[in-house]
A = this chain, B = another copy of it.
Amino acid sequence: MRDFPIGVFDSGVGGLTVVREIMRQIPNENIVYFGDTARVPYGSKSKDTIIKFSKQIVDFLLTKKVKAIVVACNTASALALEDLKREVDIPIIGVVMPGAIAAAEATRNEKVGVIATEATVNSNIYTHYLRDLNPNIQVYSKACPLFCPLVEENWLYDPITIEIADRYLSELIEYEVDTIVLGCTHYPLLRHTLRKVVGEKMNLVNPAYETAITLKNVLKEKQLDRLSKTNEHLFYVSDGAEKFKAFANTILPCEVMETNDVNIEQY
């Protein structure tokens, strides 16, 4: 089983920022990625729908004989992880708990901001986890629904993006948070613009890094870590394989040679 791949999924391309971190931290591992590009985005949809979509994807990944699964989407981690854990007997890791751990460690004044999709914010999951880690932490959450479309429009360093970030983040700055969790996998791509708005001193937490470390530890603990490095990553999407491949090649440290379409509704 050690040689089996890791399944990673996201609602679309955002999860590639998590894949990038896994490739950096545990380069021996092979990855089977699925991006649900036909039904993206998840962030404005209901819990029931997000659970249904996530279960279909897990069923698909299991056909690829994965030894562990990373839910590389904050919205699916927030709303579906507990249900998914009940379905399968391999390790399943979300991005929310690792993100919360990193934020709890980073904050000095115990005031943490969370920016995420509407569904993640409404789930209150970051607040819940952060309070479990440190009951003194005050959490201020803000849904930023325009950030994903701005990333997809590729206006990463645009004055309009700065203005929108300024609008969304002003409340968090007023609350004097010293740490902000980038609670959606698209947001790290806006890191430079967000930095301009929040200043140099703010801790910006990207849960991807901590997620890769968590995965590394889980694999080692369960003696599931791969010992040799002969990489063969596989990429699947529910729509637009070519468009996805082009985007993946701008993000990942390896070349994505092929991406295949999957009819995910059949799972």
Contact = CB atoms under 8 A, between A and B. Distances in A.
Interface of A: 37-39, 44-46, 48-49, 145-146, 148-150, 152-153, 160, 163-164, 167, 238-240, 265
Q: Taking the full assembly, how many copies of this chain does it contain?
A: 2
Contacts of A164: 160
Given A49-B240, A149-B149, A160-B164, 18 more contacts: A37-B45, A38-B45, A38-B49, A39-B39, A44-B152, A45-B239, A45-B240, A46-B239, A46-B240, A49-B239, A145-B149, A145-B152, A145-B153, A146-B146, A146-B150, A146-B153, A160-B160, A163-B163
By Cβ-Cβ distance, the 4 closest A-B pairs, closest first, are A265-B265, A149-B149, A49-B239, A39-B39
A149 B151 CA distance: 12
22 contacts: A37-B45, A38-B39, A38-B45, A38-B49, A39-B39, A45-B240, A48-B239, A49-B238, A49-B239, A49-B240, A145-B152, A145-B153, A146-B146, A146-B149, A146-B150, A146-B153, A148-B149, A149-B149, A160-B163, A160-B167, A163-B163, A265-B265
A145 B152 CA distance: 9
